[in-house]
Amino acid sequence: MSVTTSLPAPAHVQRRAGRGRVGGSQRAGYVFVAAYFVLLLLFGVAPTVYALYLALTTEGGRWTGLHNFIATGRDFRFLPAFEHIAVYLVIWLVALVVLVLFLALMLHGAVVRQTVPFFRFLFYIPGALAGSASVLVWLFILDPPISPWHFVLSVFHDSNLGQTIAPGHLPFIFAMIAFWTGAGGWIVVMNGALNNISLEVIDSAKIDGANAWQLAVRVKLPLIKRWVVFMLILAFAAGTQLFVEPQLVGAASLGMVSVTWSPNQLAYYLATQSANFNYAAAISVDLLVVGLMAAALLVFRSKMFEIE
């Protein structure tokens, strides 16, 4: 009986085959990325460049430098709009970090694992509603005579919608709406990040005597720090763009809420009511700069991209 053995291919043949496979996968990757890159150029980079051009010129295209930024900064509605959005962001981001991480950790530490998919789905349901639809739902909830939570509103002595959506309440109301619609998706993301933590790491901490609190604070949270920073960057950027919520609440309040409550509303008002697209573009560039500065601060302070 003869035994036939197969010898490995020569090294130069293996290298050529490897290059062929890698080259094919690289080409496929470029094809997939190209579609996103084209959309990014058309709907991201090009509008940004055009907004910057408008912000630095007059209606006739004459260069004005920083004149539009200075003029909008001196507008009596400019500082209040940014103050409103700053208060809203503080409430929204604190609630987002604390409650999202708490709920994600609770899901990750659930005793009955079969219930986790159900709760993930339950948390995510509100995110399926569009921004305008969620605002209409909340207007129904916040109107004491018809609200299913009228007994809660009565504690704050609110007897009508006008009292509930008083100007001083708006940052809290918009933060509740934003949390209700946006937190569920982040709970799912954070739960996925926690599920990527090695069980060996968790078991080692338990063997060393770590209780549930120590395990969450000293083991799990540090290992998902980058995801938390990523959430903060995107939530901050989205929060500065607040528009739909104050716009619809203002329409429902019949003028009780200013049409320039947020910077985005002020830019929209200047563009549509005053036909001054250059001033509106200047405010949009202001928001872009604020978002980029906050993102850079978070990235560098957290050392997000450093390889440990």
pLDDT of residue 110: 62
pLDDT of residue 136: 81
Quick: pLDDT tens for 281-307. 999 999 999 999 999 999 988 877 776
Cα separation, 249 vs 247, whole angstroms: 6
Would you say 266 and 77 are in contact if contact means Cβ atoms under 8 Å apart? yes
CATH assignment at residue 297:
1.10.3720.10
Mean pLDDT for all residues in the chain: 83
Res. 3: pLDDT tops 50: no
In a domain? residue 49: no
In a domain? residue 272: yes
> Cα–chain-centroid distance for residue 287?
15
Would you say 298 and 232 are in contact if contact means Cβ atoms under 8 Å apart? yes
User: Rounded to 5 degrees, what are φ and ψ at 57?
Assistant: -135, 175
- Which band of pLDDT confidence, cut at 50, 70 and 90, is reported for residue 268? very high
pLDDT of residue 10: 54
Q: Which of 9-18, 56-65, 74-83, 234-243 has the lowest average pLDDT?
A: 9-18
pLDDT of residue 169: 86
Domain of residue 287, residue span: 77-302
pLDDT of residue 188: 84
Q: Which residue is associated with the tokens 């990527």?
A: 196
Whole-model pTM? 0.81
In a domain? residue 114: yes
Q: Is 121 helix (H, G, I), strand (E, B) or coil?
A: helix
Would you say 295 and 82 are in contact if contact means Cβ atoms under 8 Å apart? no
Please report which residue ranges of the chain form alpha helices under DSSP H.
11-40, 46-55, 67-74, 78-108, 116-124, 131-142, 150-155, 161-164, 170-195, 199-207, 212-214, 221-223, 225-240, 244-252, 263-272, 277-302
Quick: pLDDT tens for 121-137. 777 776 666 667 778 88
**Structural domain count, the chain:** 1
Would you say 143 and 163 are in contact if contact means Cβ atoms under 8 Å apart? no
Question: Which DSSP letter does residue 127 get?
Answer: G
Tokens of 220: 């799990």
Q: Which residue has the higher pLDDT, 148 or 5?
A: 148
In a domain? residue 70: no
Q: Report the percentage of the chain scoring pLDDT > 90.
A: 36
- Which band of pLDDT confidence, cut at 50, 70 and 90, is reported for residue 106? confident
pLDDT of residue 282: 95
Cα separation, 234 vs 238, whole angstroms: 6
Burial of 47 (0-12, 13-18, 19+ CB in 10 A): exposed
The arithmetic mean of pLDDT across residues 112-127, rounded, is 67
pLDDT of residue 131: 66
pLDDT of residue 6: 47
In a domain? residue 122: yes
pLDDT of residue 245: 87
Res. 70: pLDDT tops 60: yes
Cα–Cα distances in angstroms (integers) from residue 155 to residues 79, 141, 161, in the given order:
33, 15, 14
Cα separation, 126 vs 174, whole angstroms: 15
The arithmetic mean of pLDDT across residues 208-215, rounded, is 84
C-alpha gyration radius of the chain: 26
Please report which residue ranges of 197-276 form alpha helices under DSSP H.
199-207, 212-214, 221-223, 225-240, 244-252, 263-272
pLDDT of residue 257: 81
Tokens of 284: 């949009």
Q: Report the percentage of the chain scoring pLDDT > 70.
A: 85
Candidates 210, 223, 138; CA nearest to 178 is 138
Res. 53: pLDDT tops 90: yes
In a domain? residue 191: yes
In a domain? residue 288: yes
Res. 89: pLDDT tops 90: yes
In a domain? residue 38: no
The arithmetic mean of pLDDT across residues 141-147, rounded, is 82
